[in-house]
Structure formats: structure tokens, C-alpha cells
Amino acid sequence: MTFKNIIIAASLVLTVAAAAFAKEPKQAPAATDAAPAATAPASVTAPAMTAPDATAPAPAAAAPLAKKKVLKANKVVTLSMFAVIIGITLCVVVWAARQTKTAADFYAAGGGITGTQNGWAIAGDYMSAASFLGISGLISLYGYDGFMYSVGWLVAYITVLLIVAEPCRNAGKYTLGDILSFRTDPKPVRALAAISTVAVSTFYLTAQMVGAGKLMALLVGVPYKTAIIGVGILMVGYVVFGGMTATTWVQIIKAGLLMSGAALLSVLVLAKAGFNPIHFFDTIVNSPDIQDHVTKLLIKDGKTGADILTGADAGQRFLEPGLFLKDPLDQISLGMALVLGTAGMPHILMRFFTVPTAQAARKSVIIAMFIIGTFYVLTTLLGFGAAINVTPQGIISVDPGGNMATLMLAQQLGADIAPIIGDLFLAFLCSVAFATILAVVSGLVLAASAAIAHDIYVNVIKDGHADQHEQVMAARITSMVVGAVGITIGLLAENANVAHLVALAFAVAASGNLPVVVLSLFWRKFNTAGVISGLLVGTIASIGLVMVSPNMTYPKKVAAGARNVISVMENKQSELAPGAALTEKDQKSLDKARADYEKNKDGTSIMGLDKPLFGLKNPGIISIPLGFIAAILGCLMFPNKRSEDMFDEVYVRQNTGLGMAKAIDH
């Protein structure tokens, strides 16, 4: 345990050192594009907003014009912190490689991870860069609705704790296929479970890889392809050489760094408000920039007359629901996918096989819930803090999606102390975001490789007859292949819209995986037909609905938007004096809009559609019930006496852990 303590101490020293200098500017993917326009007005909202703004109080209309932001990280400082974090984690890999000798070591760290360690690792596996940057960004632009995302991610672990944590740990071994195949026909069930695991992991992995490439390219100037290959090599190294032990400790270190950075930045935000929550929210309501932003959002949504709020009414609206999640059904569907999808995520389920007892499994979930809950409370402070201190207009000027709000906040609050503090804090948070991506993708690669090597190769192809050396070799080779595929997909998806893949991963997990896991553990009549029908229908329904949903890109809709820009620019041009020309910025907007229009005017989505057939962004409200119904009907139509008779053994196993391999002392 001495080396573990050294690693923990090193990570804490890094965290404390960065916190001591703490203050980091926010880095935005659009930073390189924003720099040339540093003298331009901050607001990038449509010209059509001019008239309504004229009726607003003068400060509210004028304030945003001075909020243009430019985000650029100090490359030397940032890459140095990257190197420190990578160095620490590589030391962990070297140590873990010496501990990894059997299949149990590789897939489940020999069952030797404590409940506390596993709780931190689960938190590290779960708190992705999308959580850290995306949710705080949503809150900074849409207020209360962004906060609802935080609640959804947190509540999800109540499902995990109450339903799957202890039974899965007791009834399984390494993978989803182990849980499902115990009282069913193992070969088809394992094959289908492996396919589902690889699908979910690939969807999520692709989004993470593309995010890593964009983050590195736009924050520190590392070329996209170089960043993808670098991240890919590191994640393959963590998994191939260190297995679950290395992955676990990388996730623990990452969780500690992330919580330290979020806590430090939150303290600075609260200090700005005098540690007075009433003053904090009063500042939001009375901020001219937030008021102006809300007014423009309402106009963009087609509001007219009395529905267009200004002044303090607009500021109060920022703290109320409906600015982003406008369709109640979409909110319900999203909530279902988040709450139920987490319990069906293969890389999350896999973590419960690493602890020695059911008590440790429960403890790990409780600790993870506490860490995750604290983290999402902090993201709420960061999001609202960015709205107050950076302003929505400044955030949009750097990244219209708001993903760089936290980094911009860190840079600004640090620079208020001293410019070098801003550089150090930004570098630290960029490094944390990088470590976050590494930890998550390593867990995903391990889950996918375990499904292929353990379920398909060892148990389907070799019929369970493979010695320990052969199993470990198969796992390592499979991890290399999965990692190579992940790198390839990341390179190919550089210019693709991958945002829908995260929704797709959670939808498939909630609609296909969760129904069969729950019914397999708790329903006596469940059998092979139920597993196959539930997995197939749930997976196909969720994927199919996402493919025809608003998540996909519809070229004719893009063309319509470009046509509107062309119309505005041409009208502006016609109003100029004879011989006068548009500004360089307006001319670029016009040229880009014309190119986009020509490119997209006759196009269709990947499914050949002009517009969505399914109106909800998340299919959970339909696909999750379909998955349960299909699994139940499959069992009732094709009953199996052997599966029913074996339920008693499953019941004993899931409540006592009988049959689980004993923990190996590391």
C-alpha cells in the first residue's frame, strides 16, 4: 500500500499547489476564431434583436456590448501540468501492471478495491468532461433548466443503489453477460449482451474522443489528430498494462483533482458575493446582462407583446424553468433516460465487481452519491457565477454552446488577483478536463474489451475453456483493438455532430440493458427469450428513434437558417450609401451563409429525412417501456422451466454473494 499512498500524496500536492496559485481563465473551443475579433461587440445574437432592445432600459441594452471575451491558455504552463498528471498516472500503470496476473485482476482488480476507493472511482468514471463543462455552461446560459440536468445525474445513483449495486456484485463476475447468462442459454445471451455493451461504449467513447480532440486543439493549440492519437495511446496503455487496477486509480486521482478545482472556483465565486446566497441570487436577478440575454431568448422563441420580459422580470425568469427545456414530455423523457440509463451503463455496472463484499458495494455507491451530489451543487454555483461574472454575452462570443463558461470564469476570477494566477488556474482546470476524459475513456475501453474477450472469445468461442494466461492475453489484445477502433472513429468524426451520441448511449442503456438486468435478477419467469427480445427491441427502438429525432442534422433546416442570414445581410447592404460596402465581419457572415445554403439546400439527414419524424430529443419515454414490454412478452410467449427452477439459486447468490470469487489482497 506504500506506493498507493505515494500516488495519492502526489496528486494531492499537485492539487494544493495549483489551488494555491489558483485562477484560471476559461478556455474555449472557439478561442482561435474569437481572437481576431477582439474589438468586436460581445453580443453575437441576431441583428433582429435591435428593435426590442430599444424598448429595454438603457443599461440592459448597452451593457452586453462591452463584454467581448477572448480565451487563450498559456501553452507552456498548461502542457507542463498535463505532463505532471500524465506522469503520475503512468507511475500508477507501472505499479498496477505488476499486480495484474489473472483475469480477475485484469477485469475486476481481483475484487480487492475497498468501498471507499470504489466510491471515488465510480465518481471519477461518472463525472465526465460533459458534466464539468457542459452542465455549468447550460446553467450559465439557461439558468434553472441547466440545473435540472444536475439533478437528473445525481438522482440516477439512487436507482443504482436501490436496484442493481448489491445484486449485480453478488450475481455477476466481470460483465453484463455474466449477470444475464446465469439461468439462460449462455451463448446467444452473452453474444447479444456483448454487442449491446460495445454499442453503448462506442457511442459514449466517440463523443468523449471527439471532445478531447476539440478541447486540446482549441485550448492549447495541439492539432486535433495529434490530440486524438495521444489520448488514444494513453487510454490503451492504461487498460492494456494496468487493467482495472490502473483504471481505478486513474479515476480516483481524476475525481480528487476535479473536486478540488470545482471547490476552489466555487469558493472564489461565493467570495465575490460576500458568501451571502441571498445577495448572490439578487445579483442574478438584477444583472443587466442576464436581463438582456433572457429578453433575447424569449424573442428568439417567438414571444411577443407582454410575453417579452425586461428588467428584473427578465432576471427572475432566468431562475425559472422553460428557457431551454420547453417541452414537458422531453423533460420527462430525458429524466427517465438519465435516471434509468446510468443503472444500465456497462462501465458503471463493471465497477461493482471490483469490491470484496456486498457491503462494500453499497458503501461505494453511497460515497459516490455524496461526491457526485457535492460536485453537481458546485457546478450550479459555477454556472450562475459565470452568468454573473463573465456574462452570457461574453460566454456566447467564445462558444455559442456555453461549454467554456467554467474555464472563462476561472480565467477571469484568477486574473482579477493577478494575470499569472489566471494562467495557472486555467491551466489547472484544462488539465483536470484532460484527466477527466482519460479516466472516462479508459473505463469505456475496459468495458468493451471485457465484453468481447470474456463473453465472446472465452465463453462463446472457447466454450469457457481458456487458462488464465490465455484469458489475460485475449483481454489485452482486445483492449488494443478497441482502442485502435476508438482512435480511428475519433479521427473520422472530426467534423461530425456527435452530440446525439451521449443521448443515444443513455437511451440504449435504459431501454435495452436495464430491463433485462432488473427482470433477470427479480422475476422468476425470466428466460432466454426475454433477454433476447428485451435487448433487441429496446436497443433498436432507442437507436431508431434517435436517428429520426431533432438530435440529427437536417440540411434543409441548416439551409433555412443560412437563408435568413443572407436576407438580413442583403437588407443591411441595400441600406448602405451608394458605393459603401459591408464590414469585413458582415461580409464573411454573408459569404459563409451563401456557402452553407448552397451546400445544404437539397440535402437530407442521414436517414434521408427533411425534418424529424420524432419530436423528442430523447426517446426514453417510448423506448424504455418498449424494452420492458418486449422482455416480458418474450418470456410469456416462450416459457422455460429450467430458468424458473434456477431462480432460487440466483436469489440466494444476489443476496449472499455465494459463488463470487474471493477478493485478492493487493
CA-closest candidate to residue 178, choices 533, 476, 464:
464
Pair 237, 359 in one domain:
yes
Q: How far apart are CA 474 and CA 477, in angstroms?
A: 5
Pair 592, 613 in one domain:
no
Exposure string over 282-320, b if 16+ CB within 10 A, otherwise e: ebbbebbbbbbbbbbbbbeeeeeeeebbbbeebbbbbbe
- Residue 194 · residue 112 · CB < 8 Å: no
Residue that is written with C-alpha cell 492519437 in the block:
229
DSSP assigned state of 134 = I
Q: Please tell me the total number of residues recorded for the chain in this structure.
A: 666
Pair 464, 587 in one domain:
no
**Residue 266 lies inside a defined structural domain of this protein:** yes
Q: Residue 79: CB partners within 8 Å, gap ≥ 6?
A: 220
Domain count, the chain: 2
What is the number of alpha carbons within 13 Å of residue 282 lying toward its C-beta? 8
Sign (positive or negative) of CA dihedral 366, 369, 374, 375: positive
Distance set, CA 142 to CA 294, 296, 325, 401, 486 (Å):
8, 12, 9, 11, 33
Q: How far apart are CA 127 and CA 129, in angstroms?
A: 7
Pair 505, 589 in one domain:
no
Distance set, CA 464 to CA 168, 191, 261, 458, 651 (Å):
21, 13, 46, 5, 24
pLDDT score for 657: 66
**Residue 665 lies inside a defined structural domain of this protein:** no
Pair 95, 225 in one domain:
yes
**Residue 662 lies inside a defined structural domain of this protein:** no
Q: Residue 407: CB partners within 8 Å, gap ≥ 6?
A: 24, 25, 26, 27, 28, 71, 133, 219, 426, 429, 430, 433
**What confidence tens digit (pLDDT) does each residue in 170-221 have?**
776 788 888 888 888 889 999 999 999 988 888 888 888 888 888 777 777 7
pLDDT score for 611: 86
pLDDT score for 188: 92
**What region does 463 belong to: left with phi over 0, alpha with psi -120 to 50, or beta?**
left
Q: Which residues of the chain have pLDDT under 70?
A: 1-70, 130, 172, 496-500, 657-666
End-to-end CA distance of the chain: 8
**Residue 395 lies inside a defined structural domain of this protein:** yes
**Residue 64 lies inside a defined structural domain of this protein:** yes
Q: Please give the single-letter amino acid code of residue 278.
A: I
CA-closest candidate to residue 613, choices 539, 554, 536, 538:
554
Pair 326, 402 in one domain:
yes
Pair 119, 16 in one domain:
yes
**What confidence tens digit (pLDDT) does each residue in 352-373 have?**
888 888 788 888 988 988 998 8
Cell of 391: 456574462
- Which residues constitute the domain of residue 398? 2-554+608-656
pLDDT score for 538: 93
Pair 138, 256 in one domain:
yes
Pair 188, 250 in one domain:
yes
Q: Please give the single-letter amino acid code of residue 154.
A: L
Pair 283, 410 in one domain:
yes
- Residue 501 · residue 203 · CB < 8 Å: yes
Q: Please give the single-letter amino acid code of residue 507.
A: A
pLDDT score for 255: 92
Cell of 624: 424504455
- Residue 101 · residue 346 · CB < 8 Å: no
Distance set, CA 430 to CA 257, 283, 313 (Å):
11, 28, 36
Pair 594, 517 in one domain:
no
**Residue 666 lies inside a defined structural domain of this protein:** no
CATH number of the domain that 247 lies in?
A: 1.20.1730.10
Pair 584, 613 in one domain:
no
3-state percent helix, strand, coil for the chain, nearest multiple of 5: 75, 0, 25
- Considering all CA atoms of the chain, what is the largest pairwise distance in Å, rounded to the nearest integer? 89
SS (H, E, C) 279-342: HHHHHHHHCHHHHHHHHHHHHHCCCCHHHCCCHHHHHHHCCCCCCCCCCHHHHHHHHHHHHHHH
Q: Residue 563: CB partners within 8 Å, gap ≥ 6?
A: 593, 597
